[in-house]
Amino acid sequence: MAELFVNQGKEYADARPSYPPQLFQFIASKTPSHNLVWDVATGSGQAAKSVISYIVQKCHSHRCE
């Protein structure tokens, strides 16, 4: 079924609104440490791409079948 959406990925990414940088600045200001983040099922990855600028070490989980 995924093959039905192969050509729409770029259009989706271009049209989807992004989160404001102030959101991640606020979250970072409320966390005591910025040493580690665990990326679990974050969907399109937009938020993950923005938040990693505040994090020292990154960990990712992928779905396994």
Q: Is residue 44 part of a domain?
A: yes
Residue 35 resides in a domain: yes
- The answer to whether residues 14 and 46 touch, using CB atoms and an 8 Å cutoff, is no
User: Which pLDDT value is given to residue 47?
Assistant: 80
Let me know if residue 41 belongs to a domain: yes
On whether the CB atoms of residues 48 and 39 are closer than 8 A, the answer is yes
What's residue 65's pLDDT? 46
In a domain, 10, yes or no: no
Q: Where are the beta strands (DSSP E) in the chain?
A: 36-39, 57-60
Residue 60 has pLDDT above 60, yes or no: no
| Count of structural domains within the chain | 1
Q: Does 49 fall in a domain?
A: yes
User: Which tens digits make up the pLDDT trace of 2-49?
Assistant: 677 777 777 877 888 888 989 888 988 888 887 777 777 777 778 877
Say if 54 falls within a structural domain: yes
Domain extent for 41: 16-60
Q: What is the per-residue pLDDT for 61?
A: 59
